[in-house]
Amino acid sequence: MKIVVCVKQVPDTWAEKKLDASKTLDRVSVDNILNEMDEFALEEALQMIAAHSGTVTVLSMGPDSATEAIRKALSMGADGAIHIVDDALKGSCAAVTSLVLAKALERIGDYDLVISGSEASDARTSVVPAMLAERLGIPQVTFVNKVEVDPAAKTLKANRITDDGYQVVEASLPAMISAVEKMNEPRYPSFKGIMAAKKKPVETLSIADLGLEADAVGLSGSWTKVNDSADRPPRSAGTIVEDEGNGGAALVDFLASKKFV
Amino acid sequence: MNETSSIVALPLVESDEERAIRDAVRTCALRYGHDRFIDAARRGESPTELWDSLAAGGYLGVNIPEAYGGGGLGLRELCMVSEELAAAGCPLLLLLVSPAIAGTILTRHGSPIQRERWLPGIGAGTSKIVFAITEADAGSNTHRIATTARRDGEDWVLNGAKTFISGVNEADAVLVVARSGASAPGAPGQLSLFLVDAGAPGLQRTVIPTALDAPELQFTLFFDNVRVPGDRLVGAEGDGLRIGFDGLNPERLIAASICTGTGRYALERACTYARERQVWSAPIGSHQGIAHPLAEAKMALELARHTMQRAAALHDAGLPAGEACNMAKFAAAEAGMKCVDQAIQTHGGNGIALEYGLTSLWWTVRLMAIAPVSREMILNYVAEHSLGLPRSY
Ligand SMILES: Cc1cc2nc3c(=O)[nH]c(=O)nc-3n(C[C@@H](O)[C@H](O)[C@H](O)COP(=O)(O)OP(=O)(O)OC[C@H]3O[C@@H](n4cnc5c(N)ncnc54)[C@H](O)[C@@H]3O)c2cc1C
Ligand SMILES: Cc1cc2nc3c(=O)[nH]c(=O)nc-3n(C[C@H](O)[C@H](O)[C@H](O)COP(=O)(O)OP(=O)(O)OC[C@H]3O[C@@H](n4cnc5c(N)ncnc54)[C@H](O)[C@@H]3O)c2cc1C
């Protein structure tokens, strides 16, 4: 099987996120990591090729510094990577991101499965996987927490998480799935994996390599843009429910008032 | 100067691989977690799952030669592994004896058969070798070791007792320092090293209860006519002290890394707490009485880490590293104690509450001012060897 895993480098989950002068996320002054959700996607891919043989290629669009996230994916066991890096890409919206990733996948060509995370922890739109599948014209199964592939029959069967439970969905390959958290337990890189990562092939592509013009991507090509933003208001003091024998009822009242129950 | 000065460089910035090693070990240890680690220790159980996942990742034998399945790197990297474990609240004292002491001694002095037999297991973390030198009546004075090894045909027969030997319950073998010559106790140059099976007939052990919240238990060992095959002698007969010294620098380095890691753990907790806890009009971290001691502890910690890295570089280059390793252990133990002590102080009453996970590591750093070599014996060493002052004992 030939599996492509989309990975994004994001600011460390705990880092305070700020916008820079161009109203895009400041990725320079923070620690960046491999988007945690993408580790689940990668782990799933690695388990699949362990069971069915094949290769895992990592695909990432991001600045130079994204090599760190790519190298982490390689040290976990991916065979090679494609890194799309181009100054023109800064500020790309989800639609443009999916366009660029789709061009790269078309270039790869003979993939059987594309796996992504179901959400990047910085922008959190969760729409890139769906847009990408749409552009590629392949079946999409998003928010997957369990999947089985049958490479011979060229099909997959997945559990897709919904608000009320899950759906069991079948699709033909090639297909796109997005992984939810807790789908598996991502391995941490082994010592040998780390030492081998630098020797694995990383192909760097510009937008020209993908046949895209600069004004089709980045801030200029984006369908949406950020006009203004405000810092999140400080957390207000919580409500303290005193238990005077009626604690349970008071809690339910509180939750009901917030429409949680 | 000499040629080596250009070869041995101490990188001031860690490589991508080194940062990835730290990151992976940290992830692994955090997944296991300090609370679970301490719970296991208090129940007298080993953190097997943590050990096994580190072993599976190849992290326990980073300093073992590649020819024996290890990582082929050095103490610099083993210190990183050990420091990250401690920084995540899971210090492993066994690293100090098995890969550090036994791994180094066997790599440098083991026979080809001994290396084949033991190094792959140490490198993979599947076998553990502990180290027994201390005796009740000898203490810091190794020359007074009275456990004897007597030749009997092809074999050796060991008699005597050792004390404070860590981790014997988990070990496959014990590397024992014994007096093999006939000369009177006190005469140097008569010690030899033996690899004794932990379950050898005639070898008995009793636990020494200690204040440590560590998974490695301490034992008194009794050798009652323990028969050891001749091929278990490591290095030449009578060469035990010299060979043993090769294991002592790695031991001091790992002791240091346990302290620097624990120091990082403690400072991280202290600062998180000091930023949030507020009893007057501002967080306690803004009071200089809290901030300055933490800043001092941080500086002591970074100085110790640097000293340790330098000592590891010298050791890995095969250069004399005794002075550097002793200084590193001394500095790290002092810094580690300072960090944990100040973290406890910063937490006020909570510093003593078990829930805050600070008292659980106090004895680990406190221990390192006593073992593997005491603070005073390092001061003696530096006074005598670095400063040329006369010896008092
Ligand atoms: C402050 C801010 C403002 C923004 N404003 C807008 C806006 O106005 N309109 C708009 O459309 N978008 C906006 N974005 C989103 C945008 O630029 C996204 O970062 C980008 O489009 C990817 O979407 P996502 O991060 O939400 O990915 P998600 O859809 O949440 O990611 C799901 C998965 O897709 C894959 N993936 C996502 N990005 C990449 C990548 N670069 N390379 C490889 N795989 C990837 C990963 O597997 C990931 O787990 C904004 C982002 C920020 C931080
Ligand atoms: C938890 C734990 C684990 C251990 N694990 C091991 C192990 O795995 N293997 C092993 O072989 N040993 C082990 N040890 C033993 C350890 O190495 C010794 O405790 C240490 O070397 C000190 O020896 P001692 O306890 O006999 O102290 P002593 O030698 O009795 O010293 C007592 C005090 O006197 C001071 N002192 C002694 N001589 C002098 C001098 N000349 N000048 C100034 N001060 C002096 C010492 O510094 C110390 O403060 C362990 C000890 C502990 C507590």
Q: What is the CATH number of the domain that holds A33?
A: 3.40.50.620
According to DSSP, residue B18 is labeled H
Q: Residue A8: CB partners within 8 Å, gap ≥ 6?
A: A34, A35, A38, A60, A61, A62, A66, A69, A117, A120, A122
According to DSSP, residue B231 is labeled G
Helix (H, G, I), strand (E, B) or coil at A10: strand
By residue range, what is the domain housing residue B251? 242-386
For residues B92 and B162, membership in a common domain is answered with no
Rounded Cα distance, B228 and B157, in Å: 6
Could you give the number of structural domains in chain A?
Answer: 1
Phi, psi of A194 (to 5 degrees): -65, -45
For residues B87 and B173, membership in a common domain is answered with no
Residue B6 lies in a domain: no
Rounded Cα distance, B272 and B22, in Å: 21
Rounded Cα distance, A187 and A184, in Å: 9
User: What pLDDT is recorded for position B334?
Assistant: 98
First to last CA, chain A: 45
User: What pLDDT is recorded for position B297?
Assistant: 98
Q: Could you tell me the CA-to-CA distances from B79 to B16, B93, B254 in Å, in that order? A: 17, 12, 6
For residues B292 and B188, membership in a common domain is answered with no
User: What pLDDT is recorded for position A18?
Assistant: 78
Residue B315 lies in a domain: yes
**Statement: residue B119 has pLDDT above 70:** yes
Contact indicator for B186, B198 with CB cutoff of 8 Å = no
Residue B11 lies in a domain: no
For residues B158 and B175, membership in a common domain is answered with yes
* Structural domain ending residue among the three candidates B178, B205, B237: B237
For residues B172 and B123, membership in a common domain is answered with no
> Could B16 and A190 be called an inter-chain contact, meaning their C-beta atoms sit closer than 8 Å?
no
Q: What is the average pLDDT score of chain B?
A: 95
Q: What is the CATH number of the domain that holds B196?
A: 2.40.110.10
A-contacting residues in B 180-219 (Cβ below 8 Å): none
**Segment (H or E) for A176:** strand A175-179
Query: Rounded to the nearest 10 degrees, what angle do helices B322-346 and B359-367 cross at?
Result: 160
Residue B391 lies in a domain: no
Residue B4 lies in a domain: no
Contact indicator for A8, A62 with CB cutoff of 8 Å = yes
Contact indicator for A218, A88 with CB cutoff of 8 Å = yes
Residue A246 lies in a domain: no
**Statement: residue B5 has pLDDT above 70:** no
* Structural domain ending residue among the three candidates B128, B163, B193: B128
Closest CA to A39 of A85, A79, A70, A3: A70
Residue A247 lies in a domain: no
Angstroms from A195 CA to nearest CA on chain B: 6
Rounded Cα distance, B37 and B50, in Å: 9
For residue B21, the chain A residues in CB contact (below 8 A) are 191, 194
> pLDDT per residue over B120-136, tens digit each?
999 999 999 999 999 99
Residue A13 touches partner B, C-beta closer than 8 Å: no
User: What pLDDT is recorded for position B1?
Assistant: 41
For residues B365 and B255, membership in a common domain is answered with yes
For residues B220 and B248, membership in a common domain is answered with no
Q: Which of A28-42, B26-40, B151-165, B350-364 has the lowest mean pLDDT?
A: A28-42
CB of A250 shorter than 6 A to ligand 1 = no
Q: Could you tell me the CA-to-CA distances from B76 to B53, B249, B250, B305 in Å, in that order? A: 21, 12, 10, 11
By residue range, what is the domain housing residue A35? 2-221
Contact indicator for B214, B41 with CB cutoff of 8 Å = yes
Rounded Cα distance, B211 and B214, in Å: 9
Its pTM stands at 0.90
For residues B213 and B253, membership in a common domain is answered with no
| Sequential DSSP letters for B113-146 | HHHHHHHHHHHHTSS-EEEE---TTTTT-GGG--
Average pLDDT, integer, range B256-280: 98
pLDDT band at B6 (very low <50, low <70, confident <90, very high): low
> Going residue by residue through chain A (261 aa), what tens digit of pLDDT does each one get?
999 999 999 998 777 777 887 778 777 778 899 999 999 999 999 999 999 999 999 999 999 999 999 999 999 999 999 999 999 999 999 999 999 999 999 999 999 999 999 999 998 999 999 999 999 999 999 999 999 999 999 999 999 999 999 999 999 999 999 999 989 999 999 999 999 999 999 999 999 999 999 999 998 889 888 888 888 777 777 777 778 888 888 888 888 888 887
Rounded Cα distance, B310 and B316, in Å: 10
Angstroms from A214 CA to nearest CA on chain B: 32
For residue B17, the chain A residues in CB contact (below 8 A) are 194-195, 197-198
CB neighbours (10 Å) of residue A248?
A: 10
> pLDDT per residue over B162-214, tens digit each?
999 999 999 999 999 999 976 555 555 589 999 999 999 999 999 999 999 99
User: What pLDDT is recorded for position B183?
Assistant: 59
CB neighbours (10 Å) of residue B100?
A: 28
Residue A253 lies in a domain: no
Report how far ligand 1's centroid is from the alpha carbon of A92 (Å): 8
Residue B2 lies in a domain: no
For residues B285 and B371, membership in a common domain is answered with yes
Residue A235 lies in a domain: no
User: In the sheet that A175-179 helps form, which strands lie side by side, from edge to edge?
Assistant: A166-172, A155-161, A140-150, A175-179, A113-117, A2-6, A55-61, A80-84, A202-205
For residues B230 and B295, membership in a common domain is answered with no
Q: Which neighbouring-strand residues pair with B132?
A: B176
Give B117: exposed, middle or buried? Use CB within 10 Å, 0-12, 13-18, 19+: middle
For residues B224 and B253, membership in a common domain is answered with no
User: What pLDDT is recorded for position A81?
Assistant: 98
Q: What is the CATH number of the domain that holds B75?
A: 1.10.540.10
Contact indicator for B26, B87 with CB cutoff of 8 Å = yes
Helix (H, G, I), strand (E, B) or coil at A34: strand
Q: What angle do CA A129, A132, A133 make, to 5 degrees?
A: 85
> pLDDT per residue over B298-343, tens digit each?
999 999 999 999 999 999 999 999 999 999 999 999 999 999 999 9
ipTM field: 0.89
Best of A191, A199, A235 to substitute, by most chain B Cβ atoms within 10 angstroms, is A191
B55 or B12: which carries more pLDDT confidence? B55
Could you give the number of structural domains in chain B?
Answer: 3
For residues B342 and B282, membership in a common domain is answered with yes
Rounded Cα distance, A219 and B298, in Å: 43
User: What pLDDT is recorded for position B189?
Assistant: 55
Torsion of CA B199, B201, B203, B204, to 10 degrees: 90
Rounded Cα distance, A254 and A236, in Å: 16
CB of A127 shorter than 6 A to ligand 1 = yes
User: What pLDDT is recorded for position A253?
Assistant: 87
Rounded Cα distance, B295 and B289, in Å: 11
Rounded Cα distance, B54 and B17, in Å: 17
Average pLDDT, integer, range B235-241: 93
Q: Which ligand is nearest to the CA of B207?
A: 2
**Statement: residue B386 has pLDDT above 90:** yes
Q: Which neighbouring-strand residues pair with B157?
A: B150, B227
